[in-house]
Amino acid sequence: MAVEQPTQPTLGDQIYDKLFHNYVWRSIFRTGYPNTPRNQMLVVATNVFLHLHPTRIHRTHVKITHTYCLGGLTFFMFLGLTVTGILLMFYYVPSVDRAYLDIQNIQTNVQFGQLMRNMHRWMAHAMVILVFLHMLRVFYTGAYKPPREFNWVVGVVLLVLTFLLSFTGYLLPWDQLAFWAITVGTNIAGSAPVLGPKTRFWLLGGFEVGPDALIRFYTLHVIGLPLLAAIFMAVHFWRIRRDGGLARPL
């Protein structure tokens, strides 16, 4: 009787072993390569970059017309705004003497500065439009109903933060349009009952638009509001998964 000889590993098998059976891979993905349903679920559940993604989704969620990816596109705009905003910070100083000149310098002297600023501006416009359309989609499909009402409130908070990000960024060019837009906006805020005058004073750091207002709007725009938005986005994504993924069609 012939004895079956052990087969030699092919080049593909050797490459596979080197890629997915090494120390680096095992230190990141402790369940091994996700080639079985069980390993796929374990990888998603144990990896910090994947744990917000559901291990299983309903077949209706595969269709792009179910959500039109409005939430994902909004998050993508936020990431793009973060990157372009950090790049713009290298060339901008929030000073009344330099703010307008720095914007002109970015547009005329900095390499790809005009493109960088335009990308930041148009992505900001797109984020406002996308988050508004996302809220409309959620409302008209009834995705805000129990048990998802908490996530609807989180989404409303994110909508307000998006508007505030756009509002605070409007003053930074320090031109006539920005100056008078912020003047009108803060006057509207000051007209609110009880807390209106204090809110206006806190935003401006005084009684008129000046250096203190520029510093406060800059700090809110680049640190305070983005940090809050990132925290609420994480809660928003986590809540979607805990509620069983996306809402089913009506």
Model confidence over 92-147: pLDDT tens digits? Answer: 999 999 999 999 999 999 999 999 999 999 999 999 999 999 999 999 989 999 88
Q: Which two tokens stand for residue 247?
A: 């809402």
pLDDT at position 248 = 74
Q: Which domain holds residue 103?
A: 65-142
Instruction: With respect to residue 49, please indicate whether it lies within any of the assigned structural domains.
Output: no
Instruction: With respect to residue 46, please indicate whether it lies within any of the assigned structural domains.
Output: no
Instruction: With respect to residue 131, please indicate whether it lies within any of the assigned structural domains.
Output: yes
* Nearest alpha-carbon partner for 205 in 192, 218, 193: 218
pLDDT at 216 over 80: yes
**Structural domains counted in the chain:** 2
In a shared domain, residues 135 and 69: yes
pLDDT at position 187 = 94
Instruction: With respect to residue 5, please indicate whether it lies within any of the assigned structural domains.
Output: no
pLDDT digits over 11-47, tens only?
A: 887 887 787 777 777 777 676 667 778 777 777 777 7
Instruction: With respect to residue 217, please indicate whether it lies within any of the assigned structural domains.
Output: yes
Q: Indicate the residue among 142, 177, 199 that finishes a domain.
A: 142
In a shared domain, residues 174 and 138: no
pLDDT at position 1 = 53
In a shared domain, residues 186 and 236: yes
In a shared domain, residues 70 and 138: yes
Instruction: With respect to residue 225, please indicate whether it lies within any of the assigned structural domains.
Output: yes
DSSP 43: H
With bands split at pLDDT 50, 70 and 90, how would you rate the model's confidence at 160? very high
Cβ burial 94-117 (10 Å sphere, 16+ → b, else e): beeeebbebbeebeeebeebeebb
In a shared domain, residues 125 and 174: no
Query: Cα separations (Å) of 76 from 72, 82, 131, 223, 226?
Result: 6, 10, 11, 19, 14
pLDDT at position 23 = 79
What backbone torsions phi and psi does residue 206 show, to the nearest 5 degrees? 170, -150
pTM above 0.85, yes or no: no
pLDDT at position 32 = 65
In a shared domain, residues 69 and 135: yes
Instruction: With respect to residue 212, please indicate whether it lies within any of the assigned structural domains.
Output: yes
What backbone torsions phi and psi does residue 46 show, to the nearest 5 degrees? -110, -5
